[in-house]
Amino acid sequence: MSERIAPVGLVIIGAGGRMGAELLRLLSEFPALRLVCAVGNPARTSSTGAGIAMTPGFPADLAGVDVVLDFSVAEAAPGNVRHCANSGWPLLLGTTGVDPGLAGLVEEAARRIPILVAPNTSLGATVLAGLVRQAAAMLGTGFEVSIRDKHHQGKRDAPSGTALALGAEVQGGSAVGGRPVAYASVREGDVVGEHEVRFQDGGEWIRLSHGVTDRSVFARGALQAGSWLARQRPGSYRMTDALEEK
């Protein structure tokens, strides 16, 4: 008889937001995950459409946690990273617009827990990042690079976290020789997310782009990555690491 594998205990922070609602809605598609706690504004419990009660913070006696998905707000990220590190809980940080100074705190936490910083959890955006780095490495320093992102009117940060992550891939590929990447952001309507990276020389250009029309792709990617992260050793991870196993 095969040994029964216990489900992964999951905490969702920011459960009352757009992404949190999608995570709760799609959780039934992932029987290996079991919701332990949904952290968010209790007044928005009904907005999840799942009848799931939310708590305003971590209950003092919270137990059975194997992984935490944080899609709350940038201001809460440092405290959430510290709390997860102190509790020994693996953390996927999907919140964007965080202070660059958070990198040091993430590095410190990675010595104690597995932590994955993911400004975009979709499969397509993860592939795009790899293609951008490869193109940057092959094109060398002669091309100018611009990155454009388009999102809904309610998105707070501009450029988006994904746009900045794509810029880091460009710099990692050394395509612009240390010169700054040009960013442009558009906030209109209810656009879920579009990103375009353009490499341009005097007589030619290359355009790499990715678009999302359904927020569920982010939620499914996050839930898949969370299941994977719960089994990892302490360290700093990226979505590409989770994608390699898939």
Neighbours of 54 (CB within 10 A): 21
Give the span between the Cα atoms of 246 and 234, in whole angstroms.
Answer: 20
Nearest to 66 by CA among 45, 88, 47: 88
2 domain residue, yes or no:
no
User: How far, in whole angstroms, is CA 212 from its chain's centroid?
Assistant: 14
Question: Domain total for the chain?
Answer: 2
Full residue range of the structural domain in which residue 137 is found: 123-212
**CA angle (163, 168, 173) in 5-degree steps:** 125
Nearest to 120 by CA among 103, 104, 100, 96: 96
CB 125 within 8 A of CB 151: no
51 domain residue, yes or no:
yes
Beta bridge partners, 9, equal 34
Same structural domain for residues 65 and 148?
no
- Each residue's pLDDT, cut to its tens digit, for the chain (246 residues) gives 445 577 999 999 999 998 999 999 999 999 999 999 999 887 665 455 555 778 888 998 899 999 999 999 999 999 999 999 999 999 999 998 888 889 999 999 999 999 999 999 999 999 999 999 999 888 877 789 999 999 999 888 899 989 999 998 998 765 455 567 999 999 999 899 999 999 998 889 999 999 999 989 999 999 999 999 999 999 999 998 998 765
Same structural domain for residues 51 and 67?
yes
Same structural domain for residues 142 and 28?
no
Give the CATH number of the domain where residue 189 resides.
3.30.360.10
Same structural domain for residues 96 and 136?
no
Q: Give the DSSP H/E element, type plus range, for residue 22.
A: helix 18-26
User: How far, in whole angstroms, is CA 54 from its chain's centroid?
Assistant: 22
Beta strand extents in 6-142 (DSSP E only): 8-13, 33-39, 67-70, 91-93, 114-117
Same structural domain for residues 138 and 207?
yes
Same structural domain for residues 88 and 51?
yes
Residues with a catalytic annotation lie at 151, 155
Give the span between the Cα atoms of 133 and 128, in whole angstroms.
Answer: 9
Question: What does the pLDDT read at residue 98?
Answer: 87
Angular region, 116: left φ>0, alpha ψ -120 to 50, beta rest: beta
Give the 3-state secondary structure percentages of the chain, helix then strand then coil, rounded to 5.
35, 25, 40
Question: What does the pLDDT read at residue 54?
Answer: 84
